[in-house]
Amino acid sequence: MEENNKNGCSNTFWILLVMFMSHTWIFCGIVIFFVVSCHDLIFPEDEDEPGITDTRRPVIMSSLYDKDGYGFDIIYMTNDKVSDSGYNKICNRPSVVALENFIDNDSVNLHFKYGYKNVDIYDVATYLESLRRDNDYCLYEIKANATLGALYIGPNPDIPDYAKTFSPTCLQGAVYLSEYEIRDRHKKVRMYSYWGCRGNSYKDERFSHFSESEVIKE
């Protein structure tokens, strides 16, 4: 009888031990699964990676211009701040390299028939964005170049002392679109901005949007 009791106690001990170990492994498994599943939340990508910056970085910087010199300067920028390695990965993606080559080999100029003097800046921005295949960067800015920008100087009925000269280096007064205007390009109402000017307009206005007293000193 005593031997049976001993065997029973021994069996009970091993059963309890197995149950305890089973629950322990289950608990550990749940913890491991939780940590792995939430890794990106607990340890954000590039959070501690050397070389991370506090600003976004340019992915593509290029220019479009026709035979008369009219055209636009464009900048594609990362959507978020990135580390050195992350930035290099984005810039070396085949789709990014292909887009840069497409812009540089006159394909965009060909689309607009090599004539930018009378092209709406929104049409250029819309076409450029249609070519982008990645979501880690965007068309950050498009601005009339010096030749096209010079057309945005002239009498403004709302500014008596309107600016009468255009700086090809400062580009003050040249029409441009920021990333926010580019993002909202499909809205019915379009907003046109002018570099270094306070005002904007609902249509492309080719006259001065700043006064002589507001000229930026270079």
pLDDT in tens, 13-39: 555 555 545 555 444 443 333 343 343
Report the predicted TM-score, pTM, of the whole model to 2 decimal places: 0.75
Q: What is the pLDDT of residue 54?
A: 73
Q: Is pLDDT above 90 for 156?
A: yes
Fill in the DSSP letter of residue 211.
B
Q: What is the pLDDT of residue 1?
A: 52
Residue 198 confidence class, pLDDT cut points 50, 70, 90: confident
Give φ, ψ of 202 to 5 degrees.
Answer: -95, 0
| Dihedral of the alpha carbons of 86, 92, 98, 103, in degrees to the nearest 10 | 80
- Average pLDDT value for residue range 179-205: 94
Q: How big is the CA angle at 42 (ends 40 and 45), to the nearest 5 degrees?
A: 40
> From its phi and psi, is residue 149 left (phi > 0), alpha (psi between -120 and 50) or beta?
alpha
Query: Cα Rg for the chain, rounded, in angstroms?
Result: 31
138: three-class secondary structure by DSSP:
strand
Cα gap 146→152, rounded to integer Å: 10
Residue 163 confidence class, pLDDT cut points 50, 70, 90: very high
pLDDT (tens digit per residue) in 30-77? 333 334 334 333 444 444 455 666 789 999 999 999 999 999 999 999
Q: What is the pLDDT of residue 35?
A: 41
- Average pLDDT value for residue range 77-100: 95
Residue 199 confidence class, pLDDT cut points 50, 70, 90: confident
The residue with greater pLDDT, 153 or 24, is 153
- The token pair at 109 is 């100029």
Which amino acid is located at 210 in the chain? Answer: F
Q: What is the pLDDT of residue 188?
A: 87
- Average pLDDT value for residue range 71-99: 95
